[in-house]
């Protein structure tokens, strides 16, 4: 009789894990980088030959790193939200142009507007690997000490900005 209950117990345990997993938000993938110093980089600035920029240039103030590309359809959906966020002037937004062609990125910003204090070029995606980028767009909130405080996977929405980013940035 007990041996007949073993398959039922296993099935119920698996069903419980499946049910719990269905309630998780795929945009909230835990990042091992949250709470740790942002990986360092020094990359060329889009449209500014000879100029380079990295996290050290933003030390002493909170900032956002937004990973985007001109070929990214969802980045276009997110873009008006970034323009609105930039107007709030809560923190500088730095663009990380990911695996893109520089001329395409420049045309894209000229067409849709430029919310970024600066955009750095990660043409080969190496910095994206250091940051654990799953895909574009992704946004990181980095505090004044250079520590990653939040990672958002996927496009930002007005609700996410108001409920999460604005309060977080005001607390930093």
Q: How far apart are CA 1 and CA 13, in angstroms?
A: 19
Q: pTM for the whole thing?
A: 0.82
List, for residues 83-124, the tens digit of each pLDDT value.
999 999 999 999 999 999 999 999 999 999 999 999 999 999
List, for residues 23-81, the tens digit of each pLDDT value.
555 545 566 789 999 999 999 999 998 999 999 999 999 999 999 999 999 999 999 99
Is 84 contained in some domain?
yes
Is 21 contained in some domain?
no
Is 19 contained in some domain?
no
List, for residues 2-30, the tens digit of each pLDDT value.
666 666 666 666 666 566 655 555 545 56
From residue 81, give the alpha-carbon distance in Å to each of 45, 53, 67, 131.
22, 24, 14, 22
Is 22 contained in some domain?
no
- Count of domains for the chain: 1
For residue 86, the enclosing domain spans 29-171
Q: Provide the pLDDT for residue 33.
A: 82
Q: How far apart are CA 21 and CA 14, in angstroms?
A: 11
Is 105 contained in some domain?
yes
Hey, is 168 helix, strand or coil? Answer: helix
Torsion, CA 154, CA 105, CA 97, CA 119, rounded to 10: -110
Q: Provide the pLDDT for residue 3.
A: 67
Is 15 contained in some domain?
no
CATH of the domain at 111: 3.40.30.10
Is 150 contained in some domain?
yes
Is 161 contained in some domain?
yes
Q: How far apart are CA 85 and CA 108, in angstroms?
A: 18
């Amino acid at each position: 009789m007990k041996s007949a209950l073993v398959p039922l117990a296993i099935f119920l345990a698996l069903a419980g894990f499946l049910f719990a997993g269905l309630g998780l938000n795929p945009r909230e993938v835990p990042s091992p980088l949250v709470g740790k110093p942002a990986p360092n980089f020094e990359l060329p600035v889009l449209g500014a030959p000879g100029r380079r920029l990295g996290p050290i240039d933003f030390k002493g103030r909170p900032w956002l790193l937004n990973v985007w590309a001109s070929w990214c359809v969802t980045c276009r959906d997110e873009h008006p939200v970034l323009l609105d966020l930039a107007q709030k002037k809560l923190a500088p937004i730095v663009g990380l142009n990911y695996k893109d062609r520089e001329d395409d990125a420049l045309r894209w910003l000229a067409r849709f507007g430029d919310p970024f204090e600066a955009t750095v070029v990660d043409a080969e995606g190496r910095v994206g690997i250091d940051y654990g980028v799953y895909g574009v767009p992704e946004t990181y909130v980095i505090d004044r000490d250079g520590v990653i405080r939040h990672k958002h996977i996927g496009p930002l929405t007005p609700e996410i900005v108001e409920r999460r980013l604005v309060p977080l940035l005001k607390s930093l």
